[in-house]
Structure 1
């Protein structure tokens, strides 16, 4: 593939795609100097991705989303029907219950795996036969924006790659990160308490492999360009099979260097930039989202300069929002909101308040005080939750995440459980759906699934408490019973989604400003890009009725204002908000 030279409309020289890729590779592997080896590797990567050297650079400021977009997060087998592949059952459920309000689906790892419910991948190029096959994946991707996990930091010790590593054979010979017990690893940041290094016996002697997460999840060695090539092959395969959004799992830990934290290193960021270059040239509406469960400012760094992730998980939102609703005080949430920069066009926040893991506490570091965190943890324990820990440099363990179903996390306040659980739960989603960004709703939040204590006890894994598996017939019965918690939650969230997707002021990149309405009323203002629609989003986050003084939010008197949710007229002095009631006060109701 020869290197091409191009001229822009101004006539200046613009190198071809292979040159741009070679530049990125040189930062990763050659100290920034483009060598013949880097040029040759660039050509190989373009061949793998089936890219031409003269392809134009995609516009990084194009938004591949709007207010109609919302994703559901689910395991491939969260809904099951006897005698049917779970991926087929999942598509059936989406088509019959969520079509029109859910535009995308994140199917958590669907490859063969050995542990961690899919995040210890045995073979990236196969679909777990217990879920279905690639045709089932393609069928979902043909109708919904499909997010797939690129488990990029590590793979399973049961993989063929690792077996070959132990035998010193290809492919796999130098695919895994190793270190010496004598290396300075004291600064390495990890989310687990197990030993970092695992001793294994290889054909050429004892090796110590690097295991950020568990000893079954062995970290890949990106110092070896062959590992990068294998990942690019996997990306191409996923694109061919309907994946449009690539979730880079645990990518912050990717590059290892003894004597450092081995977290968020420069070369890690450059690998993200390289993958973006390749992916967006292969499909101009494809997206990268980085899964970086780390403190807030570090997380935001994965936007780069509009040249890394299209989206970053808004990891600080879940702990701050849950804290707000169980304390009845929005101070910390409001303080954080005011510090968040508006994402530039071409990038967006991925908002979520529940996931398959838990409520991460690292993203709350520096945002919630230690006392506030301890109160939150003790409250969640009273509501049936568990706590997972990580190891610190001094050998101490620190809470890393709270494992609990969100509906149970919000069953009460710090004073205990009360009768406002469903209202509080719907309020949490109303707040999330109003915020700038793209919403992601975990399936067990969408249908109000409670703590699965039986699954937790049978697996011994804290995270299993929020990974229930529904039988389709049982779930349909619950959703058909209008008196059930599940039906009330589902209809409430779907109604909010239906309203949201019609409002131009709820575009993920529309203007947002935080309102100052006291500790019990959390509010923010959204405005559409054409400035024609304004929405004042206000939620009573307490268990007492609160008056909203409409004069405090500066409604323009010449316009008619109404609440999009209740339909109530807002052209008056004040509104009484019941406990956990949300209003979306708008000067117009868009019907896009």
Structure 2
């Protein structure tokens, strides 16, 4: 006979629900009981320890599609597992497999069926096999699903599961204040059994938005997350969660109910598995993004969306002032929370996160430089009705092939410098597979799909890739081997713990530096990068190395002599200067 839910946990869930559904005709007591049963918390469980870090310096996440690597007559997920075992194990310990479910568009983010694995990729056994060796991160595409799903079919028919899952509005409603990430019309005209309805579509007309005012939608997603836990998922990426709750009198982004849903999901997930982590994917201005930490009771981690555009801008201009100012403004993450750092992903380089950080002139310079290097620009419709740049679509290797003056010979060094900066920063690093492999712009895929984001979603023939990686003169071999070396060093340094102390250094515009100190204060690392295409000298007095310790550059494993008053950094060179007690 099962034990009744803990009154404390039931009351906590009830409080979340009362906040979410305030003023609505919802039996929150019964709903709380249902959610606890759905997450199988109607039996004894372990109370999570507050402010506990479920990560260390050993955590590095590879970001990839399930079919980024293709081998003839083999499930792509099996090929991915082989790649991870051969090229990633020992360097990184986690993998984010982008939506691996049946889908109709947006390379997986228009999910048809959340409960099954896309047969073209493999099956749940393949997912569990990867999860048995690597920490698995998976998407919960929580804002919308495919218009080809059974749920939406039932909405059109007006019966069955899903018939009441979707958000609708009227063309006569004043929706002018709604924040949009795209240029398409917000409402999709849809013929249903009950007449014409206008379905809310934040992203595309194939991605129909859920209506979380219906508690059945919430219960369904709790059930989905329970299944993913059972299949080995340890990290949940809440996709586009900022748009989850809609109120047509508001901008429909970052609403209080959305934050409370994140708090509720954290409560349920961390009681089901204490080590599980929620990451919110909120491609929005920096100050808004930070609110998803809550009071260490919402997301365990938030995407550091300002980092990619600021770091690329730094390396193409040779000036780190904006990156430095941003880093100084970022609050240290409380224990139990951390940043998720990345500089490239399956999406583009988002531009909303640098609103207020880069001037219009600087943003235009960044855009024109990226276009010069083959990049594309995706747009959104602002509240004013004007189109504004939303993201830059480009492979990171191509984005860093030169400066504002044009392409040059330092592309590889810039690529390594960018990752050395990210790998040293406070937070958990995520490395996109096409950055790890030095993949360049895929113009053919853009032509075939007519989607700008396809430029950085190349699919490798695995045999061809292995040949390239075995060739010491190939760019792909050089990028992979050097990033492997950096990752191997990082994972051994306590001062690179995601929550270790971080201070920004003041070393001029062309040298970007920060100091990390381990939680036990025994190790210090000065991370210093020349972000320009000219040699830069730094004075050791500027970083105040303690004379009673021996100091070494971890990247080259060479000693730093305190007898020399200065160090010379070559273009885009990074030093990780660490102490070794005498």
TM range (shorter): over 0.9
SS of residue paired to 1:561: strand
Out of 204, 215, 220, the position equivalent to 2:210 is 220
Alignment of 1:374-523 (within 5 A): 374-523=364-513
Residues 146 and 208 in structure 2, CA contact (< 8 A), matched pair in contact too: yes
Deviation at 1:54, TM superposition (A): 5.6
Pairwise CA RMSD of aligned residues? 1.4
Residue 582 (structure 2) pairs with residue 587 (structure 1)? no
Alignment of 1:167-182 (within 5 A): 167-182=157-172
Instruction: List per-residue Cα deviations over 1:248-282 (Å, max 9, x = no partner).
Output: 00000000001210000000001001111111111
Deviation at 1:16, TM superposition (A): 2.2
Deviation at 1:220, TM superposition (A): 0.4
SS of residue paired to 1:560: strand
SS of residue paired to 1:584: strand
Residues 3 and 19 in structure 1, CA contact (< 8 A), matched pair in contact too: no
Residue 22 (structure 2) pairs with residue 30 (structure 1)? yes
Residue 185 (structure 2) pairs with residue 195 (structure 1)? yes
Deviation at 1:36, TM superposition (A): 8.7
Residue 12 (structure 2) pairs with residue 20 (structure 1)? yes
Deviation at 1:463, TM superposition (A): 0.2
- Residue 249 (structure 1) aligns with: 239
2:556, 2:540 → 1: CA distance? 16
Alignment of 1:542-553 (within 5 A): 542-553=532-543
Deviation at 1:211, TM superposition (A): 0.2
- Residue 198 (structure 2) aligns with: 208
Residue 329 (structure 2) pairs with residue 339 (structure 1)? yes
2:531, 2:394 → 1: CA distance? 20
1:464, 1:36 → 2: CA distance? 43
Residue 313 (structure 2) pairs with residue 323 (structure 1)? yes
Out of 248, 255, 278, the position equivalent to 1:288 is 278
Out of 34, 50, 64, the position equivalent to 1:60 is 50
- Residue 574 (structure 1) aligns with: 566
2:9, 2:46 → 1: CA distance? 8
**Count of residue pairs brought into register by the alignment:** 579
Deviation at 1:96, TM superposition (A): 0.8
SS of residue paired to 1:166: helix
1:93, 1:4 → 2: CA distance? 44
Of residues 417-426 and 48-57 in structure 1, the stretch that sits farther from structure 2 once superposed is 48-57
2:23, 2:232 → 1: CA distance? 36
- Residue 11 (structure 1) aligns with: none
Residues 135 and 233 in structure 2, CA contact (< 8 A), matched pair in contact too: yes
Residues 313 and 349 in structure 1, CA contact (< 8 A), matched pair in contact too: yes
Instruction: List per-residue Cα deviations over 1:385-433 (Å, max 9, x = no partner).
Output: 0000000122110000000000000000000000000000000000000
Deviation at 1:142, TM superposition (A): 1.1
Residue 540 (structure 2) pairs with residue 556 (structure 1)? no
Question: Stretches of 4+ moved more than 2 A in 1?
Answer: 1-5, 52-57
Alignment of 1:47-196 (within 5 A): 47-52=37-42, 55-196=45-186
1:133, 1:502 → 2: CA distance? 35
- Residue 12 (structure 1) aligns with: none
- Residue 529 (structure 2) aligns with: 539
Residues 186 and 259 in structure 1, CA contact (< 8 A), matched pair in contact too: no
1:58, 1:479 → 2: CA distance? 43
SS of residue paired to 1:512: strand
TM-score by length of 2: 0.98
1:514, 1:48 → 2: CA distance? 46
Deviation at 1:559, TM superposition (A): 1.1
Residues 3 and 16 in structure 1, CA contact (< 8 A), matched pair in contact too: no
SS of residue paired to 2:325: helix
2:473, 2:447 → 1: CA distance? 29
Deviation at 1:190, TM superposition (A): 1.1
1:385, 1:36 → 2: CA distance? 49
Task: Sort the Cα spacing of 1:366 and 1:69 in 2 relative to 1 into closer, same or farther, 3 A.
Answer: same
Alignment of 1:236-275 (within 5 A): 236-275=226-265
Task: Sort the Cα spacing of 1:166 and 1:548 in 2 relative to 1 into closer, same or farther, 3 A.
Answer: same
Structure 1 unmatched ranges of 5 or more: 6-14
SS of residue paired to 2:514: strand
Residues 17 and 53 in structure 1, CA contact (< 8 A), matched pair in contact too: no
Residues 284 and 353 in structure 2, CA contact (< 8 A), matched pair in contact too: yes
2:147, 2:547 → 1: CA distance? 66
Deviation at 1:186, TM superposition (A): 0.6
Out of 291, 304, 327, the position equivalent to 2:294 is 304
Instruction: List per-residue Cα deviations over 1:533-583 (Å, max 9, x = no partner).
Output: 100000000000011111110001111111111122212311110000000
Instruction: List per-residue Cα deviations over 1:482-513 (Å, max 9, x = no partner).
Output: 11000000011110000000010000000000
Structure 2 unmatched ranges of 5 or more: none
Residues 564 and 589 in structure 1, CA contact (< 8 A), matched pair in contact too: no
Residues 17 and 54 in structure 1, CA contact (< 8 A), matched pair in contact too: no
- Residue 35 (structure 2) aligns with: 45
2:433, 2:516 → 1: CA distance? 27
